[in-house]
Structure 1
Amino acid sequence: MTTDPLAPLLDLADVAPAVQRARERVDAALRHRALRRQGGQVAAEVGLRSAVASAALEGYAHEREAVRDGTVTDPVVQGALRVAGELPGLADLWPRAPRQVLARLHTLAARGVVPEEALGRPQIADPADGGGTPGGLWMVSARLDGLAGLVTGGTRVSPLVLAAVVHGDLLALRPFAGPSGVVARAAARLTLISTGFDPRALVAVDLGHLEREPEYVGAAGAFATGTPDGIRSWLRHYASAVEIGAERLEAIADEV
């Protein structure tokens, strides 16, 4: 019998209860009455707000209404909007060809930010960790292959845990030039969408990350250490962000 590589994460202190609470909170939010009649409007609004939040987490904060009005031309914001718009259409491909989808996400997110020849191509973010040497590039590729293996069926843990690992690994690895964090957050959302955890792309998890930004940054750094405490910190943060995302979904549904 093959051991599930992510199963031990649920044995870390407080992780399983946090995941269960987040699951229940999302299920409750997805039963909101407004979603029966206005689910498309709600999804569009969640997409806009998530894109603005993801760009802000990348260091490019802009007023949401200015983005909505089309007066913000910042390429990172525009890239985050493009990514948000294509997530539903990429959900079916994500669990079958995650490397291909990551390249597509980077192309959408980084257009106008990095040179055309860098779009969709993994690179070494930190010269001290390999600096573009063949060995360093192999390391990045190998880690992406490992992550792809999880996405394509290599684990049966909760989709929330898998999404958190996808997000944390991509933040730590930063395999693409430019707004790599936008790609990481989008890949995590795709994991929630494609697994049926959030099938209509309604949970505004990136708003949860932004509202707890200091914790988001600290927990992501802790996850990158690979220690049990660091991974636990990140998983608990991620579950909390999903809960906040469910709360913001309900608030948005009340507004539309």
Structure 2
Amino acid sequence: MSLFDPALMDEATRAIAAVHRRPISLRRSEVTSSEGVLRGAKLSALIDGLPAETAISVATLLAPDAVETSARTFLRAPLQIFARMDVLAGGDGKPDSNVAALQQLSRVIVSGTDFLPGVVHVSVLSSGSFGPRTGIIARAASRLAAVATGFDPRGLTVPEVYLHRHRAEYLALGADSLNFQLRAFIAGAAEAESIARLAT
């Protein structure tokens, strides 16, 4: 996994901060975040060719009334969140394979690292631990990590827009994967801006 470009990180941070400063985001963030979570879930399902209901079910952990609790649990007991996401996606809550990779990732999450949303996303996706449900779980967990670490504290961005638009490149996950994730968050902030404009 490559290191990320600091310039891209700065661009992503500024873009996300800007949408969080919009009056609608300050007054009624639950409206814009709900729409962003729903759009993201539908696109997440399309990426893997799974029913939208599967991703929407997982995304309930990202809903405005649940995301703060989910985020706190994620930082102290990430395996518990992965298991819950798997159940919501139709699994039995146990990894199909590569348990060691998830355990190692869990230690990284608890101890902390730079750009945790990208690290979580790439690590879960590359592990394939949840079979066909892995992608949906990876994307939801990345969003949750973004909230938990304050990268996107209200969960407004919709990175799935970029991931769906560049699906083939995304699924290949080349050496530039963390920078790819940052580009997704930059595009996701632009999508959040469009949601904010419509909600105003």
Which residue type is aligned with residue 183 of structure 1?
Answer: I
What do residues 11-52 of structure 1 show as CA deviations (whole Å, max 9, x unaligned)?
xxxx11111111111111111122133321111111110110
Q: CA RMSD in A?
A: 1.7
Alpha-carbon offset, residue 82 of structure 1? 1.5
Task: Name the counterpart of 1:216.
Answer: 170
C-alpha distance in structure 1 between counterparts of 2:132 and 2:170, whole Å: 19
Q: Which residue of 2 aligns with 1:244?
A: 187
Q: TM-score, normalised by structure 1?
A: 0.71
Alignment of 1:154-173 (within 5 A): 154-155=112-113, 157=114, 161-173=115-127
Deviation (angstroms), 1:103: 0.4
Indicate whether 1:41 and 2:31 are aligned.
Answer: yes
For residue 125 of structure 2, what is the amino acid of its counterpart?
Answer: L
User: What TM-score results when the alignment is normalised by the length of structure 2?
Assistant: 0.90
Aligned residue in 2 for 1:206: 160
% identical aligned pairs:
31
- Report the equivalent of 1:176: 130
Does residue 146 in structure 1 map to residue 100 in structure 2?
Answer: no
The one of 52, 59, 65 aligned to 1:77: 52
User: 1:241 Cα shift?
Assistant: 0.6
List, as ranges, runs of 4+ consecutive aligned residues in structure 1 with deviation greater than 4 Å: none
Give the distance between the partners of 1:141 and 1:57, measured in 2 at CA.
24
Shift of 1:141: 2.1
Matches of 1:211 and 1:34, distance apart in 2: 27
| Partner residue, 2:196 | 253
Structure 1's unaligned 5+ residue stretches are 1-5, 61-75, 112-117, 125-139, 223-229
Identify unmatched segments of 5+ residues in structure 2. Answer: none
Using the TM superposition, give the Cα deviation of residue 58 of structure 1 relative to its aligned residue in structure 2, in angstroms: 1.1
1:107 aligns with 2:87: yes
2:95 match:
122
CA apart distance, 1:214? 2.7
Name the SS for the 1:178 alignment partner.
helix
Amino acid at match of 2:146: L
Shift of 1:154: 4.0
* Residues 202-232 of structure 1, C-alpha deviations (whole Å, 9 max, x = no match): 11111221122233223x1x2xxxxxxx1xx
Partner Cα separation in structure 2 for residue 123 and residue 84 of structure 1: 21
Residues 215, 237 of structure 1: 8 Å contact kept? no
Which amino acid in the other structure matches residue 101 of structure 2? R
Deviations 1:124-156 (A, max 9, x none): 3xxxxxxxxxxxxxxx2221111011110243x
